[in-house]
Amino acid sequence: MAELYMSATLTQHALPQRLGDFPTLTEALDYAALGETGLNFYDGRCRLVAVISYAALRREALNMARRLHGLGLRRGDRVALIADTDYTFMELFYGCLYGGFVPVPLPIPSGLGAHDSYVKKLNGLLLSCEASAVFAPTVLLPVVQEAAASLAPLFVGAAKDFQAQAMAQVDLEPSRPDEIAYLQYTSGSTRFPRGVVVTQRAVMANLQGIIRDGLGVRPGDRCVSWLPFYHDMGLVGFVLGPMASQLSVDYLRTQDFAMRPRQWLNLISQNRGTISFAPPFGYDMCSRRVREGEASRFDLSSWRIAGVGAEPIRAEILERFADQFAPAGFNLKAFLPCYGLAESTLGVSFSRRDTGIQIDRINRWELEHHSRAVPFDGDESKASIFVNCGAVLPGHRLDIRDNTGHPLPDRQIGRVTLMGPSLMSGYFCDEDSTQAVIDQDGGWLDTGDLGYLSGGELFITGRRKDLLIVRGRNIWPQDIEYLAECQPDIRPGDVIAFLVPADIEPQVVVQVQCRLTDEAQRTQLQQSLTKLINSEFGLSARVELVPPHSLPRTSSGKPSRAEAQKRFLQQMQSLCGLSMAAG
């Protein structure tokens, strides 16, 4: 798009705003195309590099639908889209919907030297969704072809080269409300990826809830996002949501954000953005990378919804960000904590708007021994703090249940279960996994998360499967990890805590990524951490220092405690085997 003059799409236009009240995504795009808003793409220096209005996007998507038909795809066939932050992704995504095919957004590789692990992971994903066609950015074609080699898709290629494909002269039949809109791959393990099946009806129900009830979208809103398109928050929140409410969006590539986090804030300042989301680490990265006195160079006064989700929310990270950017006009009340998961399309609950972070300080002893959230204003070290994630979206129900499935009263901690129109139909071609999370009689989804309700508002306390149960006490691994992360030389994400079976009682293992090379310093760190954990939690943990980047992560970058535990046990076993063989 080498135009001499390019300008971003407008924020305001004459088209009356509709808040996601469409039967399907394609009907939503048909409507957005009547206005003047659209999508804007920026490079790492905040220069506008591509613009596409919803009108142009719709035209191109219809052409794509005909080209896809030209490949000989059948209705419902999956089309894998390796999703870089680029408008061709949207052309293909909506092209699939117009043509009656199922788009499957998949990740791009990240990091140095990731070739082999990416090929393996992508191969698993392509097999799982049984992709009939695979689209990738040109630079990634060799690696994607390698990953697709064991399949026999009708097409593997770059979107750019696909322009030359002949358009079939067919009457397009877009996917209907009861048909699959797209598959969303979640952070399952590499070996057994799980594709969440989202129907048109589910995505529209969720979008309407997010747009109308969660965010209260109104004319004059403008979105800014660096979230990847293959992630549910990036896709539903910042590709589909703005489209279904006819908002303009300014995009920064995830990598450019990671390299230059300030550009996110620049973009909001420059274009008067009003809605933008990030996991807590996104806010943390800005706090860490902005220099003294630099904050006042931004103008964040337009930012009315600073959404926070996708990982456990720690209030102090957000408070530090708000303090730091107060000179830029950032409003602490703009923070909007929320809870969601791909199995319910994206959004489950949003905190009240214009209130900021609301925390609940509870008694840790009661939490650990009786799974009760008892308000507490005593000694800081004996308290646990959780963030209010708001009430469940209208039309949905959220219950906290015990292990036998019985609903629990307010302030009792249990499994977060969910029912409503946004729920997935299941995992793609994986009845076992589906039955494991959705109960067949009532249709309730077990989210796998733990939490409690207070006055109808949700507080998430952790992931059930990660819980450390020691001597009848429930200990949240996040608490131990956080304690360790607060020590000098240790950063958020450097620590993982899990439980392994042992002779007398289970052993808590704490692995810490450590950059220290001096042996004496390492020993000292190990000892001081062991002592600290012992004094805080009264248990003797086995603290292990591991090399940087060695802790396993899920595809969304969260620490994978289950995988760390598995690796640890395997290692122990092989060590045992060795010593027995030697003996």
Partner 1 sequence: MISQEKILERLFVYLGRIAPASTPIHPDVDLIQELGLDSIKVMDLLMELEDEFDLSIPLNVLTDVRTPAQLAEAVVTLMEPANGTVR
Q: In terms of Cα–Cα distance, which of 294, 296, 318, 290 is closest to 306? A: 318
Strand arrangement of the beta sheet that strand 414-419 belongs to: 397-401, 414-419, 445-454, 457-463
According to DSSP, the β-strands at 131-136 and 155-158 are: parallel
Is 104 in contact with 182 (CB distance < 8 Å)? yes
Nearer to partner 1, 143 or 346 (CB): 143
Q: Which is nearer to partner 1, 40 or 248 (CB)?
A: 40
| Nearer to partner 1 among residue 42 and residue 330 (C-beta) | 42
Of 116 and 354, nearer to partner 1 (C-beta) is: 116
* Nearer to partner 1 among residue 112 and residue 152 (C-beta): 112
- Cβ at position 44, least distance to partner 1 in Å: 6
CB of 415 to partner 1, least distance (A): 33
Sign of torsion, CA 279 197 408 372?
negative
Q: Please, which residue, 109 or 157, has the CB nearer to partner 1? A: 109
Report in angstroms how near the CB of residue 37 gets to partner 1 at its nearest: 27
Which is nearer to partner 1, 23 or 142 (by Cβ)? 142
> SS in 3 state form for 311-331?
CCCCHHHHHHHHHHHHHHCCC
Nearest distance, CB of residue 267 and partner 1, angstroms? 16
* Least distance in angstroms from the C-beta of 556 to partner 1: 14
| Residue closer to partner 1, measured from CB, 44 or 216 | 44
Give the interface with partner 1 as residue ranges (CB under 8 A): 43-44, 84, 108-115, 118, 137, 139-140, 143, 255, 258-260, 515, 517, 547-549
Minimum CB separation of residue 33 from partner 1 in Å reads 30
Q: What residues contact residue 218 under an 8 Å CB cut-off, 6+ apart?
A: 17
**Burial class (CB within 10 angstroms; exposed 0-12, middle 13-18, buried 19+) of 489:** exposed
Minimal CA–CA distance to 65: which of 140, 161, 175, 199? Answer: 175
Nearest residue to 367 (alpha-carbon basis) of 280, 448, 476, 293: 476
Cβ nearer to partner 1, comparing 109 with 329: 109
| Residue 320: CB minimum distance to partner 1, A | 17
Say which DSSP state 375 is in. Answer: B
The residue among 119 and 389 lying less far from partner 1, judged by its C-beta, is 119
Handedness of CA 75, 183, 254, 306 (dihedral sign): positive
Rounded Cα distance between 479 and 368, Å, is 11
Task: Give the 3-state secondary structure of 535-548.
Answer: HHHCCCCEEEEECC
Shortest spacing between CB 544 and partner 1, in angstroms: 17
As measured in angstroms, the least distance from the Cβ of 574 to partner 1 is 21
DSSP assignment of 65-132, as one string? HHHHHHTTPPTT-EEEEE--SSHHHHHHHHHHHHHT-EEEEEPPP-STT-HHHHHHHHHHHHHHHTEE
CB of 315 to partner 1, least distance (A): 23
For residues 243 and 38, is the Cβ–Cβ distance under 8 A?
no
